[in-house]
Structure 1
Amino acid sequence: MGSLLEVIALHPADAEAAQEGGADRLELCASMEADGLCPSVSTVSAVRRVTDLPLRVMLRLSDSFTTNGAELNRLTAMAQSYLSAGADGFVFGFLTADSEVDAESTAALASTFGGTPWTFHRAVDAVLEQQRAWRALRSLPGLDCVLTAGSSLGVGHGLDDLLKLAKDDPQVAKVMMAGGSLQPEHVPWLYGAGVRRFHVGSSVRQDGSWTKAYVNARFVRAWRNLLDAQDEKAQNQQAQDQKAQDEKGPGA
């Protein structure tokens, strides 16, 4: 599988630059000072008009990772509005008051738009016990991606944990998307552990600013080139391995 590059977009200009730079998918949200909240429906519509990239929209109403029945009802209605406006998927996830994955609430929301893929966001980095959290994630309907830095402080702090999780379980590596202060030097290590999905936000903006700079297509292109180089390296290695196996012959 080739690598996937997801870019955070806040508005149409971000989306256009991300596509120009070679992004594969967008995460659309608002209010990055709160680590991403629900955007307006009009923003979703506007972004869909300027890009044909797959578009996953944030379902989060506050800076908390917990939720309640009233909030779930609002999010259910918003999800339907987003789908009508052109969303292809969603980004969300809830924790209990004890900082464990709230599988019940998360599954309840996911079940309202069955068949639509979604990402469990970095709430997973705030759990107390990672192994238990990943076991809970396996049970969630429609989940095909987990955004994680391995630490609430970012990939720089959580890299070793991400590598261990990915190496120990290929199924975890398959759904893992590394993001959260991701740096280029992290990519070869993650790629070597089987991770093929990467998520960037501030690193594709001038000076890393959410408020003073839009997504820069050249910065996105640099990430695209980095991932393409990893893909090419892996393909070449696979071809060499296959050639060596063929030279050994059947039953070798």
Structure 2
Amino acid sequence: MLEVCVDTIDGVIAAMNGGAGRVELCSSLSEGGLTPSAGLMHAAAAIPVPCYAMIRPRSGLFEFSDAEASIMLADIAMVREAGLAGVVLGAQNAARGLNVPMLATLMAAAGDLGTTLHRVIDVVPEPLVALSQAIDLGFERVLTSGAEPFAQDGTKLIAQMVTQAAGRISIMPGCGLTADNVAEVIAVTGVQEVHASCNVRVAGDLAFSDFDPPSGRFETSEMRVREMVNQMSGKN
């Protein structure tokens, strides 16, 4: 299973056409992925590939205020209204560990929606403790780079997570994975699903302000999705 993170409706379509099994729907991937708009949620729900919406009200790390938690609850309600398949969540406490009470509230709001714990697990002091907490909270899966900048460098911890999970939760490596390294990461860790952006840089347009990044912006590439799916299935 390949999950592709996207922040446009064209990205959803490219991921689907390339063979992705699931989409992580975001806005502002340049900020690490924020909550998508209601319009994007509704548009993605009409496309026949499961989409999980990122629930993250701002950039930065994940110690959220009560006011921000209320926004996240409203966004989860919008995910349900739009008819998406699931949500992607994460929250930290003042000690940088998982904020278990807040996550329990968000999980209760998610109800029967699918749930992924995002890469908050890569910035907590004890990722394996956080993994046990995620299992107890009822998450379906954890997205992780193995507490390294790139998942291909975090395979030791990812493999430990797979062993500890023992089938109770899926461990999904993500960040830095491409068609060139995905097969090796799967082989070393024993995971069953991975996460990638599969994007390419496109030239920006000249403007009097920063409407378009001078160095170009990123778009999901159907070709890169297909290349990665082929590597995962041995059709290289």
Counterpart for residue 216 of structure 1 = 221
- 1:1-252 counterparts in 2 under 5 A? 4-49=1-46, 51-63=47-59, 64-141=61-138, 143-167=139-163, 169-171=165-167, 174-183=169-178, 184-201=180-197, 204-207=198-201, 212-229=217-234
Counterpart for residue 240 of structure 1 = none
Contact 1:159–1:186 (8 Å) recurs in 2:
no
TM-score of the two chains, using structure 1 as the length reference: 0.81
Which blocks of at least 5 consecutive residues in structure 2 are unaligned?
204-212
Q: Distance in 2 between matches of 1:187 and 1:165?
A: 18
Note closer, same or farther for the CA distance 1:176–1:85 as it changes in structure 2 (3 Å cut).
same
Q: Distance in 1 between matches of 2:103 and 2:95?
A: 15
Which of 206-215 and 161-170 deviates more?
206-215
Q: Which has the higher helix share?
A: 1
Name which one, 1 or 2, has greater alpha-carbon Rg: 1
Deviation at 1:156, TM superposition (A): 3.2
Deviation at 1:186, TM superposition (A): 4.4
Note closer, same or farther for the CA distance 1:187–1:163 as it changes in structure 2 (3 Å cut).
farther
Count of residue correspondences: 222
Sequence identity of aligned pairs in percent? 25
Task: Note the aligned Cα RMSD (angstroms).
Answer: 2.1
User: What SS does the corresponding residue of 2:137 show, helix, strand or coil?
Assistant: coil
